[in-house]
Amino acid sequence: MYEVGNWINGQNEASSSSRTSDIYNPATGEIQGKVKLSTAAELDAAVAKAAEAQKAWAATNPQRRARVMMKFAELINRDMDKLAESVSREHGKTLPDGAGDVQRGLEVIEVCMGAPNLLKGEFMDSGGPGIDLYSMRQPLGVVAGITPFNFPAMIPLWKMGPALVSGNAMILKPSERCPTTSMMLAELLKEAGLPDGVLQVVNGDKEVVDAILDNETIQAVGFVGSTPIAQYIYGRAATNGKRAQCFGGAKNHMIIMPDADLDKAADALVGAGFGAAGERCMAISVAVPVGKDTADKLIEKLTPKVEALKVGPYTSDKDVDYGPVITAQAKQRIESLIDSGVNDGATLVTDGRDFSLQGYEDGFYVGPTLFDNVTEDMDIYKEEIFGPVLSTVRKDSYEEALDLVMKNQYGNGTAIFTSDGDTARDFASRVNVGMVGINFPIPVPLSYFTFGGWKKSAFGDLNQYGPDAFRFYTRTKTVTERWFSGIKEGGEFAFKAMD
């Protein structure tokens, strides 16, 4: 049993709070640790210390800040196995998935090594007679990141890298379900040379979140989580005059055209739908085959692949495709939605309810579940399930399939599998979704682009990582300057305006 406190001024600090939250091992269902749920007063104290530390950090040459990121990346690579094990132990995902979690965050840190180029302003001479104009990008001050349980390494790294290298101090509030990885990353940043106080990790729940939103010193908030919470945070942050980028839920569709390679499409759906137990905002949760023949053949190919998936703990020495979901409550909710799909008349092809693993009977496991003949009015379609459940919604034409995607309230990611370039180009051009895959199921952009959805999947004008992150964590100052010529006359300077 271990206890997680906070990371304040470069060291672990126990919270004075009397409230705690249990940290489970999802693979066994056992409580393995506790995290102290910090108070609003502790958050405010951490912010005050961060604001003081930020002054010298902002004055540090951007290239020197980038060197801290270079060393940080080196240390992440050194400790990759430890970080992956931490992710898997508290989240439940397999060790390869845990390492992937860390790796995708590391790629953003690698982009941050080139921050001096991304932080450059603009210059123009002769904007008028003797007048020059230039702009500069300056840090906001103290910013905050509120990150989810499903990517305990990746999302904190997406937040802290661009924010810190831009010269800000950051308050990080990780998920109370998976707090340890963020604490480990904070230790590595200190080892990399980040000055004490520039990153503060404050663990907590809604009390800390509200304190972040109401603290006048914090200038911007980045959030990833569910849509209702994203809307709440965005609204309260905006009311308090803060910048906010808040990323919410998703219901990602993959259209399968009659001319698609169905073997590749089926393989893609299995990986995209069931990897990480479906606990990904970019998971494909709806397959949309076009035409009866396409749908029948797709289900025929999908069924044995889904049935063959292996579910188990991250510690298993056998090949495991995915592990448990995060909590007993999550398992219960997922199984309840499966019940509703059955009751509403969808065809249950494979049933993941009541899945039991010998020796791990108390773990939070849900078996792979595949539905066919799902309709738009069913809860199994409307709700973000966030579990290993794939629904098949049949459509008769491309236009009907496209309309299904466009009418959905979410707009995070989508994909189409086709052999026709014209259809693919039309889909990419017309669909109202932020990230689009063509014969690619999970179109998460590389780290030098930007990540972000549309509609109720995202709130705010700027996306995560890439150039948008540096715009979000800095503000532009533009200077218009004019110098006067000095002409020495009779021992005195007479100044003549250049205009």
Q: Which residues are catalytic?
A: 281
In the chain the first and final C-alpha atoms are separated, in Å, by: 74
Contact indicator for 182, 90 with CB cutoff of 8 Å: no
Written as six digits, the tokens of 203 are: 């663990």
Where does 302-374 show beta strands of DSSP type E?
Answer: 347-350, 369-372
DSSP state of 195: P
Helix (H, G, I), strand (E, B) or coil at 394: coil
Helix axes 180-192, 62-78, angle to 10 degrees: 130
Measure the CA dihedral 460/464/467/468, to 10°.
Answer: 0
Neighbour order of strands in the sheet with 123-128: 123-128, 131-139, 474-482
Please choose, from the candidates 241, 177, 251, the residue with its C-alpha nearest in 3D space to the C-alpha of residue 215: 241
Written as six digits, the tokens of 169 are: 């101090």
Written as six digits, the tokens of 469 are: 């992150």
How far is residue 231's CA from residue 216's CA, in Å, rounded to a whole number? 20
Maximum CA extent, the chain: 100
Q: Which residues, 6 or more positions from 435, have their beta carbon under 8 angstroms from its beta carbon?
A: 282, 412, 413, 414, 443, 444, 445, 451, 452, 453
Written as six digits, the tokens of 462 are: 């700027």
Please choose, from the candidates 200, 209, 178, the residue with its C-alpha nearest in 3D space to the C-alpha of residue 22: 178
What one-letter code names the amino acid at 94?
A: T
Helix (H, G, I), strand (E, B) or coil at 412: coil
